[in-house]
A and B are shown apart, each in its own frame.
Chain A
Amino acid sequence: MKITKKEQEKKIKSRSKKADDKQKLILEILKTHGAKIYDDLDNGQFPKFSIPSRSVGNIVYDKQLRQYILGNNAALRSSRNSAQLRSFTQLMWLAFFANRLTTERKSSTLRDVYYSSQAFAVEFEDQSESDNIIVDLEAVTSRAREDFHIFPEERSSIFGDLNIEYTIPGYEGKTMNLANHPDGYSIGPSLTTAELVSTSAEIVIAIEKGGLFTRFVEEQVDKKFKSIILNTGGQAPRSTRTLLKRLHDEMKLPVICLTDGDVYGEHIAMVIKSGSANAAHLRELTVPDAKWVGVWATDIEKYKLPTIPMTESDIKRCYDLQKDPRYQDGIWKKELDVFLKLKRKAELEAFSKYGLTNITDKYLPQKLELAKSL
């Protein structure tokens, strides 16, 4: 089907309108909060606001949303309280800074924020203090930092037949096919904010490790299995999880996760599926339908994989996760129990024992087939 130039222009317009709308929404949120503070001051009062409590006691699991959320506890932050005044000011500055970033459509990293503050005489002791204030902003606005153009250092990447169209300044309307570069594309601000235009893929395969990602690209897993391959680089960063969610929601692609055969791998898949307690203040970061297809504990025996013994901390992690409400049934519980029974683990690379392509030739097809019934 051929698209006329006019149609295309219209499409671009509508897409950039969508980006504009989002920008407007974010700016509106910031403005509302700012105006409240302004009014307090204008009325001769110490400004204050309330912020959902992120203490452990206020993090609860929501069965319907299938993720951790914050409960109803909220704390009042008052600029009259000298113990809170500093962080109050820091948060105000951050909102002010986020407002500029969003207005100018510029991106920055967590580290940038830490240094940028110094230009405004707002001191942060260290980056962990500024990171914390960023989470405060997320909690107050219920928006992820990426919405405010603040990104973590990237280490995850994506490859496959996916057409995108940039919305960041200077690239508006430019398109890209993500199968053009065999090393994959790193998932940064421009990709996260890009419009997802079209794809021939039928599934997204999220892999825990860069090495395997490269192998999958080499073995043309994208073509053989009509898939988009995504390297989470260990625990998936939020922008990656956002992108996964968009691929699932907007492109209607199922998402499967392939991790190391250990308790940490299992949890990487779980976080993609239902989020982490650390981000309980945010929604829109989960892919509830995502499936973990391996490496399972039961695969270790089934595929006769070479194993290494679990460490003390592996075992402790197993016991910790057993208390997590999300690990109370299904394969999550079953595999966790088997890990604890075996007290051994296997990495994705373990399949290399049977040849470098064993994992893509034998294991993956079986798992893809299995995924349909999960």
Chain B
Amino acid sequence: MSSIKEKFNQISPSEFFYSNRDLAGFSNPTRSLYTAVREFVENALDACDQKGILPDVHLTIKAVDPDKPDPKPYILTVKDNGPGIDAEHIPLAFGTVLYGSKFGLKQARGMFGLGATMAILYGQITTNKPVLVKSSSDGKIQNQFEILLDIQKNKPVIVKHTTKEISKTGLTVSICLEGDYSKAGNKIRDYVYETSLITPYASITFDDPKNQKFSHPRFVKEIPAPPTIIRPHPHGIDVERIRRMIVESQFEIPTIDDAMIEKVRKDLGLSVKKLSFTSIMDKAKKKWKTLPRQVRVVIALMSFLKMDFEKLNKIKIEDIDMPNKKLFYWDFGDSQSKSVDMDPESEYYKQLTNTVQGEPLTTFLTKRFQRIGPTTAVKFAEFAKFKPEKRMGTLTNQELVNLSDALQKFEDFMAPDSSCLAPLGAEPLEKGIKKFFNPDFVAVVQRPASAYSGFPFIIEMGIAYGGDIKSGGPHVYRYANRIPLLYDEGSDVVLKVVNDTDWGRYKVKGEPPFIIVSHICSTRIPYKTAGKENVADRQEIERELRLALQFLSRKLSSFMSKRGQAEMAKKRANLYAKYIPMIAEFCTELSGKKKEPNYKKMLQTEIESENKKAIKEENEIENN
């Protein structure tokens, strides 16, 4: 066999996604049209959410040639009233893959703004048309771009750029792509409908290719509080993450070159060229508090070396040996390695320790994680069998693993900060359900925040019964970060939890008119696939879903039993009225009597009393 020569080429992210577009939900014209709609609508809603703007989103899909059979090219346009994008960022934002503003730990519909670029890429591949972007971030000038993607170089190619005056901020994105509306139409309409349920503060309109208009005006005027970016929660963090955080927290020994010396001079405010070592130290002491860390380190080194700038220029720091309190350096003049002792009592020694060995464990915990105060940090150190003052830079691999394990196991951390999450809120959710389904019964719950693998999440859930709801339930509306999930519901954790429930126990029988709305909010939704359609069954999430569903089911059960009692009372009244006279008739002949027994008054009283019971139960339902 001849040896195989393989050529390894680095491929650009654009190229990667071009060849793996199935992963992102662009597998066929039906799915692609749906995914493209999702990506642009979600970007529009995210942009408005972040700036606290009540969103007005207009979605339009028009066939390029309406007479052609599907699949065929469509023009998809999404217009919003969001903050827009600065002109300088537009080419990169819409003409590069993996360029985005969403790389932070907070809840958003999309993670990196990746999907929209994928949609643009897909459009370009299938129709060879540029994306049209109209944006105004100041509400005065609107920039219009036509952009193509250079797939191999992952770079935007600006086809056209014009500006015009305008009176509102906002972004309009328009792409031409191959799609199949006859097949995707149902899902897209469902998507718009379900999105408006979970985004009651948004007005969403949809003009479809058949000139039908779907309008979902907002019915809630308050926008939920926007999420904040936060530090990670210690539960479930992994070794790799801690390692990265330590690297971030450590400060490198600065290279002492001319530029550095110039910076130190400037920060110390030294105008005189030649200054003695002692006067430099005096000056530094006075200005210490205002000095940046780099400068402090240089000063600390100088304090042990006892050198002025001129001498400092002629050496190179080789090693700072904290345990042996020695400082090694190379002297260019003598061409040899030298060392000085460091006084551990000196303030400068501490400064160097921090820099070289990293922060003490307790500082690391309180500064880098959410929800850990000094007391908890010390308690944790004891639990994890670390000294509180243990320097993070000195942790061995084994110690890192131990620390990571302990962080997951320690139970006294407070629940994760949910300020990075933006749940809809029980009230708007209930309002939405009432408006959409006009049910006889509705209950909603927002669970307290919980975390899986260090990512906080909140479950919101609603249950509704009767009214306009069609029978054949429970029908489950699944949402994750305010996105409706429409595909692949079979393998979703929410469905699993719903299907595991024995509804008979909650007095729900047969094919009830019954819906469940489930909303999972998290900084990271554990989707099973890149297509973002089903949520994996993480134990913590499953547990919260179960608790939420149980809570609501109990409420439903009490409604059902009241309703059941009312129905039973009514039913009893009807049964009495129907059967007792028959019994009277039969037993009269049977017993050989001529006259029927005197039962009518008794029957009347019983029927009235049952009807009264029914009314009483119904009133109680009404009042709940």
List residues of A whose CB falls within 8 A of some B CB. Answer: 30-31, 33-35, 37-39, 41-42, 44-47, 79, 82, 85-86, 88-89, 92-93, 95-96, 99, 120-122
Contact = CB atoms under 8 A, between A and B. Distances in A.
Nearest to A39: B597
Contacts of B571: 82
B580 A38 contact: no
14 contacts: A35-B587, A35-B592, A38-B591, A39-B597, A41-B587, A41-B598, A42-B597, A47-B587, A82-B568, A82-B575, A88-B579, A89-B586, A92-B583, A120-B582
A46 B571 CA distance: 17
A202 to B, nearest CB: 45
Q: Which has the most chain B C-beta neighbours within 10 Å: A38, A46, A99?
A: A38
A95 B590 contact: yes
Interface in B581-617: 582-584, 586-593, 597-599, 601-602, 606
Given A35-B591, A37-B587, A38-B588, 10 more contacts: A31-B590, A44-B598, A44-B599, A45-B602, A85-B579, A88-B579, A89-B582, A92-B583, A92-B587, A92-B590
B576 interface: yes
Given A44-B601, A82-B575, A85-B575, A31 B583 contact: no
A45 to B, nearest CB: 7
A95 B510 CA distance: 35
B265 interface: no
Given A85-B575, A86-B575, A122 B582 contact: yes
Contacts of B579: 79, 85-86, 88-89
B46 to A, nearest CB: 56
A161 B150 CA distance: 111
Contacts of B602: 41, 44-45
A38 B587 contact: yes
Q: Which has the most chain A C-beta neighbours within 10 Å: B568, B597, B598?
A: B597
Q: Which has the most chain A C-beta neighbours within 10 Å: B571, B576, B601?
A: B576
Nearest to B574: A82
Contacts of B572: 82
A31 B587 CA distance: 9
A96 B576 contact: no
A158 B348 CA distance: 123
Given A33-B590, A35-B591, A96-B590, A41 B599 contact: yes
A150 to B, nearest CB: 16
The A contact surface, by secondary structure, is helix
A39 B592 CA distance: 12
Contacts, number: 83
B580 A79 contact: yes
Contacts of A92: 582-583, 586-587, 590
A95 B586 contact: yes
A42 B583 contact: no
Nearest to B601: A44
Contacts of A79: 579-580, 583
A204 B571 CA distance: 56
Nearest to B598: A42
Contacts of B587: 34-35, 37-38, 41, 47, 92, 96
Q: Which has the most chain A C-beta neighbours within 10 Å: B568, B583, B588, B602?
A: B583
Contacts of A85: 575-576, 579
A47 B580 CA distance: 9
A42 B599 contact: yes
A89 B576 CA distance: 11
B504 to A, nearest CB: 17
Nearest to A37: B587
Nearest to B605: A44
A89 B579 CA distance: 6
A257 to B, nearest CB: 40
A88 to B, nearest CB: 7
Contacts of B593: 38
The 7 closest A-B pairs by CB, nearest first: A34-B590, A41-B597, A42-B597, A34-B591, A96-B586, A35-B591, A44-B602
A99 B575 contact: no
A46 B587 CA distance: 13
B583 A30 contact: no
B583 A47 contact: yes
Contact of A41 (B575, B583, B589, B606): B583
A132 to B, nearest CB: 18
A281 to B, nearest CB: 21
Contacts of A41: 580, 583-584, 587, 597-599, 602
Contacts of A121: 582
A137 to B, nearest CB: 12
A125 to B, nearest CB: 16
A46 B572 CA distance: 13
A30 B590 contact: yes
Nearest to B599: A41
Q: Which has the most chain A C-beta neighbours within 10 Å: B571, B579, B589, B590?
A: B590
Nearest to B588: A38
A99 B590 contact: yes
Nearest to A33: B590
Contacts of A30: 590
A260 to B, nearest CB: 45
A242 to B, nearest CB: 25
Contact of B591 (A37, A46, A120): A37
B541 to A, nearest CB: 42
Contacts of A89: 579, 582-583, 586
A42 B587 CA distance: 11
A285 B583 CA distance: 31
Contacts of A33: 590
Nearest to A27: B592
A122 B581 CA distance: 12
